[in-house]
Amino acid sequence: MGFSSSSRRSRIASVLQLCLCMLLCRVQGGSSHEQHLEEGMNTLIAPSCSARDSLDKDFHPNCWDQPTKTSTAKREPSSYELYIVYLGEVKHDHPDHVVASHHDMLTTLLGSKEESIASVAYNYKHGFSGFAAMLTPEQAKQLAEVPEVISVEKNKIHTTATTRSWDFLGLNYQMTGTSSGLLKGSNYGEDVIIGVVDTGIWPESRSFSDEGYGPIPSRWKGKCQLGPDWGSNNCTRKIIGARFYTAGVLDKHLKADTLSPRDRNGHGTHCASTAAGSIVEAASFNGLAEGVARGGAPRARIAVYKSGWGSGSFSTASVLAAIDDAIHDGVDVLSLSIGGRGQVAFGALHAVQKGITVVYAAGNDGPRPQTVGNISPWVITVAASKVDRSFPTVITLGNKQQIVGQSLYYQAKNSSGSSFAGLLVGQGCTADTLNGTDVRGIILFCLPLPDDARTPVSTFEYASQYVRNGGGSGLIFAQYTTDLLTVTASVACQGIACVLVDLDTGEKIIKYVGAASSPVAKIEPAHTVTGKEIPEAKVASFSSRGPSRDYADIIKPDIAAPGANILAAVGDSYVMYSGTSMAAPHVAGIVALLKAEHPDWSPAAIKSAIMTTARVTDKRGMPILAEGLPRKTADPFDYGSGNINPTGAADPGLVYDIDPRDYNKFFGCTIVRRTNVSCDATMLPAYHLNLPSIAVSELRRPVTVWRTVTNVGEADSVYHAEVQSPAGVMMEVEPTVLVFNTTDRVHSFKVKLAPMWRLQGDYTFGSITWRKDQKTILKDEETREKYDYAVAHPEEFFYNTAQYYRAYYGYKTDTRSVLIGLLLIVSAFQYINQLTSYSQAIESVKQTPAYRNRLKALEFERTGGISSKKKGNKPMDKKVEDELRNEVDLQIQGVQKPSVWNLCGVQLILLPYLIGKLLIWQICWFWRYRVKKSPYAWEDACYLTRTSLRMPANTWQNIDEFTKEDLVMKRLWEKANMERHIAEARRGSKQRRR
């Protein structure tokens, strides 16, 4: 649904994100590129190792696994491919029995146990049951028909998707106030185990120092797998486990790497240090972004699962094997900075069902919509945002005009400094446009073609390489955004100055070159600027966007975190990377802190806490923007529920928890899409999952959605709903008030959604915010003591504070009531006076001859003209006589009987006001005093009566749920602010008199 943000002491407890669409035009996406397993590939396997409790660093050699090789049978690549067979939950007590069942199944298919053993690359036997095996398409098809098999899919290849960032998120360990919050409360994530599925790790980095660490947690059951450049001493009390997986990876990627957990790419080291790196002082990238480098949970332990090779190639089979081992090893959090469309979703599902929170990167295919990956509802999918840090680079033109770009350009210590060089304009800067242009000793300015003005990375790389190879001095490159600033520090820019400028700045350079006979320019080294002067919290342009192409009833991404120009460890140094790969470990580190502070929270509760406390505005209160074409205000498809707020996530108030079994229905029936999978016939749409978001992809008729919240904050709490309906949709929440106490910690509410009109192909957004009132009045100790005393002595407190309510509420309400009452009394006296005058007029008329003559005439007419005495009729009836007299009175004198409405009709309209107040007073008094036996019923009734007209309509629906603490809290707050209220009232009355 939409979102709000809050800090730890914020009054906002929970926000439910809503995305609605009347009719979604779905776009089905293609599958990833598939890769074959190379002929004669070897796999490294080793037995498991027991946990290590000793503080001694010299572990026993038998504790570490030595690599051994087992060759698979040689198969023709043209006929055999690697298939992943998923069998669901583990149905055997021991992993060996699970493996045996896999071989029995394959033996039946292949004809011999030897063939079965030779074909298997991985057995998934801990968290879930399945295997990866070399099969022909025909064999895979036959295996898919086996009743126990849920799915059979070909292996696919996935790709990879700090200092300032943690300060920006409010986790500055050097600040006492912040340290007393989430960081200190979680002890910096101590002994939480983060599993990093990536390209390995560089153990010698200072970010992975284990100095001051205690023994490895006894629950750890992982191993340290050895390799040519990885010994037993590379596993420490910080890096407590390391494994690597090769099946399904192309041979060219394996040859470019080493068969060990060591990271030759740098990506895995960067991610691991971002999530859980130890504290390193004075870290920087050649003097830029200097500060304290550390991970989100600097005291957490790291378990490495190397599944990426070469330039970052991941095999689905290897990733699933890593997840399966991580479940067995005992990790608490899994961080996967890889892209994909969900082929490994079932592995993550089983991890979540075992209590492991799984964090994925959203992908780097933005700002195009419907590009978000890893869209399973049980994982946290992370978008990338920017931080309040900039690297301005001054460019001085020959006319002394200075313009500012962005770069990571630095000069070596022995450099002679910057100097002017010739400036040449290259339109497009492609191979066709440059075409042998001489750039020796000059600065090339590139203005990309219109269709390449968004993020022309490939053009930039070509142009920078061209300048470097041609002996040029520098490159100024104009483009739409500078999010991918790290390209200016790439290998192609080594030795030259590479600067990014926006398109407007580029036009200034074009004007200068056109006016100058010999244009020149000078590029100064970049410097670092942080803080309020820098626009913050924008969604990076490269971050993949929603909605999901596959499952429109699930909003993705879930959250945004820093992912642009992030400084972290790579090898023995510190380098800046950009991507959602950098954003995911930020969230993984925060999850580790939350896990340490709230070990009883489930993965769904942690995800909810992160999402419902996210920020949708920056520190200035302005909406977060999303870079793209065009730049716009961000919405849930850009950043999910908003930018992550770690401190607020530690105290969310309410969470949307999910029974892990609920995922099975959704997974079995929606994702796998197998006809032989049994599904619950009454299964509801995906938007009925108890997620902290709601998405209805085809809202053509009214829909009712239920959500359940669990109170994880103060036991006695009352929350009120604030509803912001999506455009074109009527949204109602019932009930609008949730009351929690020590026994009632869980409440459900329903959301009614009804379209106002039929709107096709568009999304609209809204929000539901649950606010807890008066949460901030107990901040100081003195107020807390007063509150505690008032709760313990309600009679005394209510008696002493009665004057304040009369001064504020009583003055306004009672004065109005008295004026209305006086008006009604005057009107009553007027009516009585008119009745008296009417009676006197009647009596005076009766004494006149005309009255008597007219009365006789009327009597004669009534009797038919015959005297009553002659006919012997009885005397005239008294009622008839009165009617005749009145008629005579009206005809002769014109005297009219007074009417109540003519005299005081307007005043009588106000009578129900007084009667209603009296009834409310009596109802409240009776309920509290007679039914509830409350000792403070009289004051309670008076208070509620006086404030009745200003209370929400739902107050009286929940009158029986009011507690002593609630009323004391409200009155204490009013008493504390009474002088201000009275002063404002007096000031207003003076202005009215003037």
Does residue 547 have a cis bond before it (omega within 30 degrees)? yes
DSSP 779: -
Fold type of domain 178-387+536-655:
Rossmann fold (3.40.50)
CB-CB contact of 641 with 6 (8 Å): no
User: Which tokens hold the place of 642?
Assistant: 């908003």
Amino acid identity for residue 666 in this structure: F
Question: By percentage, how much of the chain surpasses pLDDT 70?
Answer: 64
Q: Is 693 a catalytic residue?
A: no
Long-range contacts of range 71-78, CB-CB < 8 Å, 24 or more positions apart? 71/40, 71/42, 72/40, 72/41, 72/42, 72/43, 72/118, 72/119, 72/121, 72/134, 73/115, 73/118, 73/119, 73/134, 74/39, 74/40, 75/39, 75/134, 76/39, 77/36, 77/37, 77/38, 77/39
- Nearest-angstrom CA–CA distance, 397 and 392: 16
To the nearest whole number, what is the mean pLDDT of the chain? 75
- Asked if 655 and 609 count as a contact pair (C-beta separation under 8 A), the reply is yes
What SS3 state is found at 132?
strand
Confidence of residue 327 (pLDDT cuts 50, 70, 90): very high
What does the alpha-carbon distance between residue 224 and residue 427 come to, in Å, rounded to a whole number? 54
One of 65, 167, 191, 198 is an active-site residue; which one? 198
Positive/negative CA dihedral, 805, 809, 812, 816: negative
Q: Where in the chain is the domain with CATH 2.60.40.2310?
A: 698-775
Q: Name the burial class of residue 456, with classes exposed (0-12), middle (13-18) and buried (19+) by CB atoms within 10 angstroms of its CB.
A: buried
Residue 884 has pLDDT above 90, yes or no: no
CB atoms within 10 A of CB 258: 18
Q: Which of 91-95, 294-298, 449-453 has the lowest mean pLDDT?
A: 449-453
List the catalytic residue out of 165, 581, 602, 717. 581
Distance CA 869, CA 226 (A): 139
The predicted structure's pLDDT at residue 199: 95
Residue ranges matching CATH 3.30.70.80 in the chain: 81-154
Question: What pLDDT is recorded for position 811?
Answer: 38
> Which residue intervals of the chain bear CATH 3.40.50.200?
178-387+536-655
Q: Are the C-beta atoms of 9 and 775 separated by less than 8 Å?
A: yes
* Close Cβ partners of 559 (under 8 Å, ≥ 6 residues apart): 380, 381, 382, 383, 587, 610, 611, 614, 639, 640, 641, 642, 643, 644
Q: Domain spanning 81-154: which CATH class is it, in words? A: alpha beta
What percent of the chain lies above the pLDDT cut of 90?
39
pLDDT digits over 503-553, tens only?
A: 888 889 999 999 998 999 999 998 888 766 666 678 998 899 999 888 888
pLDDT, position 63? 38
Q: What is the pLDDT of residue 600?
A: 95
Instruction: Determine which of 138-147, 263-272, 976-985 has the lowest per-residue pLDDT on average.
Output: 976-985
Mind listing the pLDDT tens digit for each residue in 797-823? 444 444 434 433 333 444 556 666 677
Q: What is the pLDDT of residue 265?
A: 92
Q: Is it the case that residue 865 has pLDDT exceeding 80?
A: no
**Eight-class DSSP state of 197:** E
pLDDT value at position 688?
Answer: 86
Question: Would you call the peptide bond into 367 cis, given omega within 30 degrees of 0 as the criterion?
Answer: yes
Mean pLDDT, rounded, for 776-799: 50
Q: Nearest Cα to 115, choosing from 131, 99, 101, 134? A: 134
Highest mean pLDDT among 146-155, 218-227, 333-342: 218-227
Q: Which of 267, 270, 350, 688 is catalytic?
A: 267
Q: What is the pLDDT of residue 19?
A: 42
Spatial distance between the Cα atoms of 939 and 924, rounded to a whole number of angstroms: 10
pLDDT at position 46 over 50: no
Least confident of 4-8, 34-38, 158-162, 912-916: 34-38
Highest-scoring range by mean pLDDT, 42-56, 753-767, 789-803, 899-913 = 753-767
Contacts of residue 505, defined as CB under 8 A and 6 or more positions apart, other chains included, come to 403, 404, 405, 478
Let me know if 698 is exposed, middle or buried by CB neighbors in 10 A (0-12, 13-18, 19+).
middle
Bridge partners for 717 per DSSP: 740
Domain 698-775 has CATH 3.40.50.2300: no
pLDDT band at 273 (very low <50, low <70, confident <90, very high): very high
pLDDT for res 548: 87
Tell me what pLDDT residue 684 has.
64
Mean pLDDT across 206-230: 94
Q: Is 581 a catalytic residue?
A: yes
Q: What is the pLDDT of residues 50-68, one digit of tens each?
A: 333 332 333 333 333 333 3
pLDDT for 825 beyond 80: no
**Confidence class of residue 48 from pLDDT cuts 50, 70 and 90?**
very low
Domain with CATH 3.50.30.30 in the chain: 392-527
Per the DSSP assignment, residues forming a β-bridge with 711 are 654
At 151 the pLDDT is 87
How far lies 104's CA from each of 136, 770, 906, in Å?
18, 54, 93
Query: Which one of 168-177, 272-281, 451-460, 826-835 scores highest in mean pLDDT?
Result: 272-281
Q: Give the number of other CB atoms < 10 A from CB of residue 221.
A: 15
Q: Which whole-number Å values give the CA distances from 835 to 829, 830, 887, 895, in the listed order?
A: 10, 9, 17, 11
- If one compares 841 and 150, the residue with the highest pLDDT of the two is 150
Please say if the pLDDT value at position 656 is more than 90: yes
Q: Could you tell me if 157 and 315 are in contact, meaning their C-beta atoms sit under 8 angstroms apart?
A: yes
In 849-977 the beta strands, taken as DSSP E runs, fall at none
Residue 132's nearest CA partner among 342, 321, 350 is: 321
What is the per-residue pLDDT for 970? Answer: 52
Q: Using one digit for the tens of pLDDT, what is the confidence trace for 17-28?
A: 444 433 333 333
**Between the CA of residue 466 and those of 422, 440, 449, 457, 735, what are the distances in Å?**
16, 10, 18, 14, 66
Residue 841 has pLDDT above 60, yes or no: yes
CA distance 378 to 606: 11
Task: Tell me which of 3.40.50.720, 3.40.50.2020, 3.50.30.30, 3.90.226.10 is the CATH number of domain 392-527.
Answer: 3.50.30.30
Q: Report H helices in 181-314.
A: 184-185, 251-255, 267-276
Euclidean distance between CA atoms 125 and 98, whole angstroms: 6
Question: How confident is the model over 465-502, as pLDDT tens digits?
Answer: 899 999 999 999 988 765 667 788 877 788 899 999 98
940 is catalytic: no
pTM, rounded to two decimals: 0.70
Each residue of 676-733: pLDDT tens digit? 444 444 456 788 899 999 999 888 889 999 999 999 998 888 898 999 999 888 999 9
Q: Cβ contacts of residue 737 below 8 Å, gap of 6+?
A: 718, 719, 720, 721, 954, 957, 958, 961
> What are the phi and psi torsion angles at 242 (to 5°)?
-155, 130
Residue 496 burial (CB count, 10 A): 21
Among 78-82, 530-534, 606-610, 731-735, name the one with the lowest average pLDDT: 530-534
